[in-house]
A and B are shown apart, each in its own frame.
Chain A
Amino acid sequence: MKLSVNGTDHEVDVEDDMPLLWVLRDELNIKGVKYGCGVAACGACTVHIDGVAVRSCQVSAADVDGRVTTIEGLGTPEALHAIQAAWIAHQVAQCGYCQSGQMMQAAALLSEIPDPSDTDIDEALRGNLCRCGTYLRIHAAIKTAAAALRTN
């Protein structure tokens, strides 16, 4: 089947029910997307399909009906997305394992609500677990990124 990821088209030969998460990680070697729970309980595998945040562990390969964007497609160390720049400025990460999913969720929120309230952020991010407990910095980084994106 065909898959568009971060602007590149791929042809993959996998079972229809293989979750997108594992197609990305093991078939396409795109490792920024993380396996945490496999049941949409942690958000570590969050990617965008046509700009909408989805849990890639719950999307079967055959059901991918749009362009997939992972953290690698959001920005790179050389060309940071405003969200990544804010994550660096706030020194958000501890172990960092959940942060790809947090940033992808945050990016989807800001594309929908450019100036989110505290409640908007709370509700959008409540499904993204962070065992290290970096929520306060995630919250602050989202506000910084939102301000940066609005002025650009």
Chain B
Amino acid sequence: MGRARTIARRSFLVGSAAIAGGVAFGYYAYKRPAENPLLDGLAEGAAALTPYVKIDGSGITLITPRADSGQGAYSVQAALIAEELDVTLDQVTVDPGTPSPAYYNTALAADAAPFRPTDERFVAESARNVIDVMMKFLGMQITGGSTTVPDSYEKLRMAGAVARETLKRAAAQQTGLDVAQLKTAQGQVELPDGRVIPYTDLAPMAAKLTPVTGVALRDPSTWRLVGKSMQRTDIIAKSTGTQAYGIDFEMAGMLHASVRTNPRRGGVMNGFDASAVQNMRGVVDVVQITGGVAVLADNTWRAIQAVEAIEIDWGPAPYPAEIAGHWQALSDSFDAALRDSRRRDTGDVDAALSGANLIEAEYRAPYLAHAPLEPTSATVLVGEDRIDIWAGTQIPRLVQRNVAALTGLDMENVHVHGQVMGGSFGLRLEDRAIREATEIALQRPGVPIKLTYSREEDTTHDDTRQIAMARGRGTVRDGRVEAFDLGIAMPSIIASQMGRQGLTMPGPDMQIVAGAWDQPFAIPNYRVSGYRAPELAPISSWRAVGASTNGFFHDVFLDELIHAAGADPMAERIRLCWHDPSRKALEAVAEMSNWGSALAPNTGRGVAFCLSFGVPTAEVIEVTATDDGIRIDKVWVAAEVGRVVDPDMFENVVQGGIIWALGHAMNSEVTYFDGQIDQRNYYDFEGMRHDQTPLIEVRGLENGDAVRGIGEPMVPPASAALSNAIFAATGQRIREMPMNRFIDFA
């Protein structure tokens, strides 16, 4: 313990933070660094040089604590460590590690504070840092908000550098040479005479040393990996069917479970009749859990068949039973008493709107399911004094806490083994299935229980994207946008999502206006207000969160005003934009698409812009009105991310995000009937298909000095650019999603 504490206090976390963040970490209330979790249970002769690098006789392991839901997070994290550690990616093992406060997420706090991402003043930085301290205190090892790269960019390279220098020091002691004479490459220390010592041989000596701190990071011009296209560490497994996901987990003696809980979410179960199930083949037991019932069987299919055969009497939903009631609740929320924020209010909006020629419009965006292709699953084994969980999750620390509360164990006895996820898009920020599996497993101690949702249970119990409505009022004068007043109403995503974790976030919920209030346009009279609708059905973070709806509202209304002014949609956005990196994104997409060039008949182009998650993103979409409906021909995207860590993966993720956003905008919605989600499977929640996919040209810009993540920012402008393009091609303005309510798609 003595050694562990000594090293932990000197571990690189705070040192690197001081180097990387300067003022950001300068006044930590909690200065004591988190302990290095790798020091627990480390074998003799193995070295855990930082919380991210573990070396023993059998090899080098890089710890990548941010979950990978498919966007390559493990690979990117490994590359950042490997860059400074001087190893190649094919000579290391990548492991998500054990949940620990050491892996708290610094970058996630940035978007929670009510300061525009373009605001670099001290007060804004300070507010972000206060939340940063809070996050560290809570030890929130969360994956989300496109934060993996921003959070990891300095931290993981420093982890590699500290480990490398410590290994060199160990080699110096072993050989009697001066450290300055030593070099490193390919997982070895190179001596001046040409001999090499593998890192794995140096581990026992390095473990006895205090990690070397104060290491300077290398100049980007010397990088071997970062900034270049790399082969993803998981690509062979994912191209041969050999990648194991959470749903594939197997253990000897395991039982399969499937559940049904009230589809009127939050309603009670009045009772059930399982008599039809008892004699079904393979059924082992029927057990009750909070708000529902589960079947245990010897096979997944038998468990699902049986649980669907149970007659259940469900209580009513605690929210309006029909979708019209949800829209009404939003409509009623445009009320000064429910105003949650008005952080954007420049010029004299009321005076500007009092004249003639007021332009008004109302916009709607529906609930949407996350519907990752891998149905939700979790495996839980209740032991005598510990509990083990195998599941894909973005919130391993909260899972530990929640399962501890359910079982009466201490958090440290709850062992979360993160599994590879078949998609998430935000859904794995929820842990309902893990809690349900724990409740089942508590009734079968010593037996591993794998809970698998049917697709129908998954879709009808999705903690969906928010439903949202916006109302815009504006004026134009002399060919320019003169006044822009946008009100947005939605229930609080944070309140619903954090509420399920027993947490509250004080102050306004900036997600209600994210992607709208924080846009870099110098409109003379410019106001954005957020209205907090009452809590309705459960909602959660869905790719791009608040901005997924607000990017649509803000940019389509801006487009309407620009058309009313008779201005060019691209030129007027560029003229209005005061933020250099944002304007460059617009200029880049104009150049890429050759904006203004002649188009074929029935073809139209729309441009849209949104700054979200710190990433200015501009998109142009070209559509053609065909006899079969609207065909999306081509999309151009320019996104300012500071540094593109892997160009090939960047392109893939951006293209995928565009397809995600357009597919949902075209044809997807979640509605409620009789208190239940109407949609059940991919036949009524479809998204985009292979044959509808447009060409998508992507450019990552590197003008800014902050490094940003790209998991989400491409989403908000896409639906707006589609609406704007359809208007350009047909003259029809679509203000509500899904758009196939109003127009056919080819």
A: which residues have CB within 8 A of B?
15, 18-19, 21-22, 25-27, 29, 31-39, 41-42, 44, 70-72, 74-77, 80, 84, 87-88, 91-100, 103, 121-123, 125-139
Q: A72-B241, A92-B652, A136-B695 are in contact. List 18 more A-B contacts (CB 8 A).
A: A27-B299, A35-B375, A36-B373, A37-B681, A38-B455, A38-B681, A70-B241, A91-B235, A91-B649, A93-B238, A95-B374, A96-B239, A123-B691, A127-B689, A131-B371, A133-B660, A135-B690, A138-B690
User: B407 CB to closest chain A CB, in angstroms?
Assistant: 28
Q: What is the chain B residue whose CB lies nearest that of A70?
A: B241
Inter-chain contacts of B653 with A (CB < 8 A): 94
Residues of A within 8 A of B72 (CB): 94
Of the candidate stretches B110-118, B244-252, B284-292, B484-492, the one touching chain A is B244-252
Instruction: Judge whether B374 and A97 touch: CB under 8 Å.
Output: yes
Q: Which residue of A lies closest to B244 (CB)?
A: A31
A residues less than 8 Å from B236 (CB atoms): 77, 88
CB within 8 Å for A77 and B655 given contacts A95-B372, A98-B373: no
Identify the stretch in B419-427, B557-565, B584-592 within 8 Å (CB) of chain A at 4 or more residues. B419-427
Most buried by A among B69, B281, B659, B690: B690
Could you give 27 example pairs across A and B, Cβ below 8 Å? A26-B300, A31-B250, A34-B373, A34-B422, A36-B682, A37-B683, A38-B455, A39-B681, A70-B241, A77-B240, A88-B235, A88-B236, A91-B229, A91-B648, A92-B652, A95-B372, A96-B239, A96-B422, A97-B422, A97-B423, A123-B691, A129-B689, A131-B372, A132-B71, A132-B423, A133-B693, A135-B689
B221 close to chain A: CB less than 8 A: no
B232 within 8 Å of A by Cβ?
A: yes
List the 7 shortest-distance A-B pairs measured between CB atoms, nearest first: A32-B241, A95-B70, A133-B659, A97-B422, A96-B238, A71-B241, A133-B656
Interface members, chain B 23-56 (any A CB < 8 Å): none
Q: Mark B70-95, 1 if CB is under 8 A from A, else 0.
A: 11100000000000000000000000
Interface string of B439-476 (1 = CB under 8 A from A): 00000000000001011000000000000000000000
Cα(A131)–Cα(B695), bound, Å = 17
**When each residue 371-414 of chain B gets 1 if its CB lies under 8 Å from chain A and 0 otherwise, what string results?**
11111000000000000000000000000000000000000000
CA distance A65 to B241 in the complex (A): 24
B373: which of A75, A129, A136 is its contact (CB, 8 Å)?
Answer: A129
Instruction: Please tell me if the beta carbons of A91 and B232 are within 8 angstroms of each other in the complex.
Output: yes
Chain A minimum-CB-distance residue to B694: A136
Residue B234 CB within 8 A of the other chain: yes
Distance of A34 from chain B, by nearest CB (Å): 7
A44 proximity list for chain B (CB < 8 A):
373
Q: How far is the CB of A152 from chain B (nearest CB, A)?
A: 19
Question: Does B554 belong to the interface (CB within 8 Å)?
Answer: no
- The answer to whether residues A136 and B241 also contact, given A19-B301, A88-B235, A95-B421 and a CB cut-off of 8 A, is no
Which residues of chain A have C-beta atoms less than 8 A from B422's C-beta? 34, 95-97
Q: How far is the CB of A144 from chain B (nearest CB, A)?
A: 13
Within 8 Å of chain A (Cβ to Cβ): is B658? yes
Residue in A96, A103, A128 whose Cβ sees the most chain B Cβ within 10 Å: A96
Whether the pair A88, B239 counts as a contact (CB closer than 8 A) is: yes
- Residues from chain A with a CB closer than 8 A to the CB of B250 are 29, 31
In angstroms, Cα B425 to Cα A18, docked, is: 31
Q: For A131, list chain B residues within 8 Å (CB).
A: 371-373, 423, 425, 660, 687
Q: Please indicate the chain A residues that have their CB under 8 angstroms from the CB of B243 in the complex.
A: 96
Q: Does B215 contact A (CB under 8 A)?
A: no
Residue B663 CB within 8 A of the other chain: yes
Point out the residues of chain B lying under 8 angstroms from A42, CB to CB.
373, 682
Complex: how many Å from CA A137 to CA B231? 15
Q: Is B374 in contact with A34, judged by CB distance below 8 angstroms?
A: yes
Whether, in the assembled complex, B657 has its beta carbon less than 8 Å from a beta carbon of chain A, the answer is yes
Of chain B, the residue at the smallest CB distance from A22 is: B301
In the docked arrangement, what's the CA distance between A3 and B500, Å?
46
* Complex-state Cα separation, A71 to B236, whole angstroms: 13
Q: Name the contact of A94 in the complex, choosing from B652, B687, B689 (C-beta under 8 A).
A: B652
Min CB gap A27→B, angstroms: 7
Provide the bound-state CA to CA distance between A74 and B281, in Å: 33
Determine whether the beta carbon of A93 is less than 8 Å from that of B239: yes
Distance (whole angstroms) from the CB of A86 to the closest CB of chain B: 9
Q: Is the CB of B682 within 8 A of A137?
A: no
What residues on A are CB-neighbors of B695 within 8 Å? 136
Task: List A contacts of B317 (CB < 8 A).
Answer: none
Considering the complex, give the chain A residue whose CB is closest to the CB of B425. A131
Interface: B583 (CB within 8 A): no
Task: With CB as the reference atom, state the residue of chain A lying closest to B375.
Answer: A35
Q: Which residues of B contact A38 (CB under 8 A)?
A: 454-455, 681
By a CB distance below 8 angstroms, the chain B residues around A126 are: 689-691
Whole-angstrom distance between the alpha carbons of A133 and B658 in the complex? 8
B688 at the interface (CB under 8 A from A): yes
Complex: chain A residue closest to B696, CB-CB: A136
Contacts of B70 in A (CB 8 A): 93-97, 132
Shortest Cβ gap from B132 to chain A (Å)? 29
B696 CB to closest chain A CB, in angstroms?
6
* B237 touches A (CB below 8 Å): yes
**Contact among B235, B237, B372, B659 for A135, CB-based, below 8 A:** B659
Q: In the complex the two chains form, what is the Cα distance from A15 to B299 in whole Å?
A: 12
- Chain B nearest CB, measured from A88 CB (Å): 5
CA–CA, A76 and B663, complex, Å:
33
